[in-house]
Structure formats: C-alpha cells, structure tokens
Amino acid sequence: MGSWEDRYWTSRDGLKLHYRDYAGPADRPPVLCLHGLTRNARDFENIGERLAGEWRVLAVDFRGRGGSDHDPQSSRYMPPVYAADVLQLLDELAIGEAVFIGTSLGGIVTMIVAGFAPQRIAGALLNDVGPELNRPGLDRIASYVGQQLLFRDWDEAAQQFAAKYQDVHPGYDRDDWIRYSKRVARQTGRGIELDYDMAIAEPFRQMDPNTAAAVDAWPLFRALDGKPLVILRGEHSDLFPPSAAQKMLEAVPSAELVTVANVGHAPDFDEPESIAAVDRLLDRVLKR
C-alpha cells in the first residue's frame, strides 16, 4: 500500500486547501487527481496506492471538501475557481505539467485548464464526463446535493449507501460499501456525516439549465487534441451518454474510449478496464 503525506496550499483568495501527496520520481510529470462534485481526495486511493513510487500522485480536495477550507462565499463554488486553485497548486510546487485524471466535476475542471493553459496538461483521463451531459443525470445530482445525512455508525452508512446506489456499483459487497462510506463521509461528534460543505449546492441549484445548455464546452475539450487522452465511461451512466462519448471521439480521433462494464456514474478505478486504461495513458505520456 502506497503511503502519502497530507499537504496544503493556499488559494489566491486565502483558503487553506488540502491534497494527498504520494511520493514518486521527479523525472516524470505527476498524476493530478480531481474528484467529483460531492467527493474528495479519498476517491483516488486506488490510484495513489497502486502508482506510488513509480509516479508521484497528487489527489486534491477542492475547496469545501475533505480537508480543505469551506468558502464563506458559496458563489465561488464554481469550476473556473477550482481550475484556478489547481493551477495555483502547480505553480506553488513549480510543476510545469501534470497528467490530469478528472472524475465528473474534476473532468470539467480538466477541460477548463486545457482551454486556458493547455501546456500544463501532459495527458488526461476524463472519467464519465464530457462537454455534453444528460439532463436526467444532472437532475439526479440536484436531488441530493446539499442534503446532509447522519448515520449512527459505518455499518448503517454502508447499508444506506448500498440501498441508494446499488445500481451504480452492483458488484459491491459489504466491505466495498464500508470503503465507499469512508471515502464520502467522516466521523464527527454527531455521528457519520457527508464530508463536504452543503453550500456547494447553492450555485448548482441556481444554475439556469437553458443558459448552461447554451454554453459551448466543446472548444475546451478540443484543446486536449494532440495530447494522450482517455475517455472513460460507465456502461450504465445516466450523466454521460454513449452518444456524447462517440462525438468526443469524432472531435479528437486520437483519444481512446473505454467503457467500464456494469458500472454507472462513475467508475472508481478499481475495475480492470479502468486500471488498464490508466496504465495505457501513462505509457503514452512517457512515449511522447
């Protein structure tokens, strides 16, 4: 099992932000892992533990998640702000480029970075996300984001998460759901609670679907053209339809599309298809 150090950086507006730093060689770009909307750096334990020593892995907590400060202004819980935070981290560490692995929101942040600072991306994996997203998936996320849950213990948390998300990870057993619970929640004086600032829901819920649909994210995605690129998709994803993945392949034919069987939104990098896709991406980065 790879070990890590808890480290911190400071955003331009003064927040103390957390990341896990899995040690690795300095002669290759680090792997920078960016999580989804309500998640945190613990989502990338599989990647960090497997790659540590061969690659440096940086798994960040966006502001308002995990070990990072909550933002007193909820209006700043937006992808362009997260992208600026990530670039600030790379600047503070004097890292010129990194391999970006972004799940859902993390993939959106990756595309924003590609649009404004493509030289910082050595390669990228977009996990179950693209420039077009399914409305049913967005509606499902809107139905739960910002609603705090409280459980007596980890067993109850695992049971409740399994009941709610069994269709996303139908292959999970009890131990898997315990691990899932410990990634998305934390122990507090009240019990087991979700590990993010409930205020992240405010900008998400205030978003006008018509305005959002009018924003053309395709130029951001096309900025990844010419770089090692993997598009990872859960077979049963309700957020990232196969039609969008196919359009992405047509826009950037050099990309590799990988579908993870029997998984919804989103693959967790424990599946054989995901593991192999990450390894192929890193091999392409080394052969640039």
Residue type, 10: T
> Mean pLDDT over all residues of the chain?
95
Task: Please determine, for residue 55, whether its predicted confidence score (pLDDT) is greater than 70.
Answer: yes
Residue type, 218: W
Question: Mind listing the pLDDT tens digit for each residue in 180-197?
Answer: 999 999 999 999 999 999
Task: Please determine, for residue 223, whether its predicted confidence score (pLDDT) is greater than 70.
Answer: yes
Task: Please determine, for residue 211, whether its predicted confidence score (pLDDT) is greater than 60.
Answer: no
8, exposed or middle or buried, with CB in 10 Å at 0-12, 13-18, 19+? middle
User: Domain coordinates of the chain in residue numbers?
Assistant: 4-137+199-286
pLDDT of residue 272: 97
pLDDT band at 209 (very low <50, low <70, confident <90, very high): low
Task: Please determine, for residue 215, whether its predicted confidence score (pLDDT) is greater than 80.
Answer: no
**DSSP readout, 102-162?**
EETHHHHHHHHHHHH-GGGEEEEEEES--SS--HHHHHHHHHHTT---EESSHHHHHHHHH
Residue type, 276: A
Task: Please determine, for residue 95, whether its predicted confidence score (pLDDT) is greater than 60.
Answer: yes
pLDDT of residue 212: 53
pLDDT band at 208 (very low <50, low <70, confident <90, very high): low
pLDDT of residue 3: 87
Spatial separation of the C-alpha atoms in residues 142 and 134, rounded to whole Å: 13
% the chain with pLDDT above 70? 97
pLDDT of residue 226: 96
In this structure, are residues 220 and 273 in contact, taking their beta carbons and an 8 Å threshold? no
Question: Mind listing the pLDDT tens digit for each residue in 56-67?
Answer: 999 999 999 999
Task: Please determine, for residue 268, whether its predicted confidence score (pLDDT) is greater than 90.
Answer: yes
Question: Mind listing the pLDDT tens digit for each residue in 134-147?
Answer: 888 888 888 899 99
Task: Please determine, for residue 244, whether its predicted confidence score (pLDDT) is greater than 90.
Answer: yes
**Top CATH class, 4-137+199-286:** alpha beta
